[in-house]
Chain A
Amino acid sequence: MSNVNAQATAPAHTNDGEPKDASRRELFAKIGMGSLIVAAAGTGLFTYEFFSPNVLFEASPIIRAGKPDQFAANTVTLDPQSGIYLVNGAKGFYALGAICTHLGCLTAWKPELDLIACPCHGSRFNRDGVKVAGPAPEPLPWLKVWLSDDGFLMVDKSTLLKEQEFVKV
């Protein structure tokens, strides 16, 4: 037993001076590794920030669709430039996003079918934006519409309505 004890204590004793040096080295290694990690995280953040444009020169989401009398009763009108439909329905005016909810193609109004159809993968929607066929996962969004002071129908593409709302003129 005493022999075993001697063997067990001997290395600890001889290492008595060493652990201090070793732990100092470990400390510096940890500081070094830690600062490398911080630098790497900073580089990652810098890269992400750099590649995300802060100013975009994209079209305004607010669209001046036109005067109400430009839209005949019971019609669906596509504005391909802004990607919206303005519908003059029985209950009033409303607007739908014309970008297919599947993979972002511009849809088209087919009067002969009384449907909105996407040319890319065949999704079809009725004039309320509800999907009737195809792979689209969601209906076309209803967009906020209001009448401006100077009598124009305005549409905000960035404000999606949760419930159907109509603008009566």
Chain B
Amino acid sequence: MAITIKEEFERVKNTEAWKTIFRSGSGSSNLHRSQAVQQNVFLHLFSVKVRSRVLEFGPTWYLGAATLSTFFILVGTGILLMFYYHPSVPQAYADMKDLQFAVASGVFLRNLHRWSAHAMVFLVFAHMFKVFYRGAYRPPRQFNWVIGVILLLMTLLLSYTGYLLPWDQLSYWAVTVGSNIAKAVPLMGKQIRFLMLGGNEVNANALLRFYVLHTVILPLVAVLLIAVHFWRIRKDGGLYVPEKKQ
């Protein structure tokens, strides 16, 4: 009387504990399956049903999903890098070298973080071009395009703030130049640069500010907006799929 995996799974699904967590319980009717999506805090952002055409490669090239994947890689590797990185002068540079030469898998994590960041910027642009040239930004999806533009801005700001953290010549002068560009804002340019750097020169305060922005504030805003971005897909009637030519 061997118990099959399927039977065992059914038994677990019918236990009290399972049912308190996943209210939809066992069963595979359409109702059960839609409830499984609807009652899950993560999945409820998405539609219960989609047209099968949406899941094909053609309509999206999966660019949005690929962008999300790079974001997840960046969060994962970024948190691990934080365990060895001190945002202080001149320790930051030494820690970056430490990660490259001394920490186990450090060079892998740092490079993965770096290349994923480049890939994310590329994929965000590719995703936007795809949406634009397919006309998927048109009503009723205008607002999701706006959210997307803000997410593009978040991606670029995350790249820029992360650029300073190695504290080498490249990052130092990049942020010097970037903060002087911000200074060109009319009327309050000087104040903007002062607030950005926490002083008049790129120094310890600037490094700490960029670190907090890069690891806490910008990722939080990005996660929030990504959630809204996905939720809007459902609210706007699912992903845009052009009529298939006969």
Contact = CB atoms under 8 A, between A and B. Distances in A.
B198 interface: yes
B200 A56 contact: yes
The range of chain B's interface size is 10 to 19
B177 interface: yes
A57 B201 CA distance: 10
B26 interface: no
Given A58-B203, A120-B173, A103 B195 contact: no
A105 interface: yes
A102 B173 CA distance: 13
Contacts of B27: none
Contact of A104 (B177, B194, B198, B199): B177
A81 to B, nearest CB: 12
Contacts of A28: none
A51 B195 contact: yes
Given A52-B195, A53-B205, A103-B181, A58 B176 contact: no
Interface residues of A, number: 12
B180 A104 contact: yes
Contacts of B205: 53, 56
A133 to B, nearest CB: 19
Interface string B186-213: 0000000011001111011100000000
B180 A103 contact: yes
Contact of B201 (A48, A52, A58): A58
Nearest to B184: A103
Given A51-B195, A52-B194, 9 more contacts: A51-B198, A53-B205, A56-B199, A56-B200, A57-B204, A58-B203, A102-B180, A104-B176, A104-B177
17 contacts: A48-B195, A51-B198, A52-B195, A53-B198, A56-B199, A57-B204, A58-B199, A58-B203, A102-B180, A103-B177, A103-B180, A104-B176, A104-B177, A104-B179, A104-B180, A120-B173, A120-B177
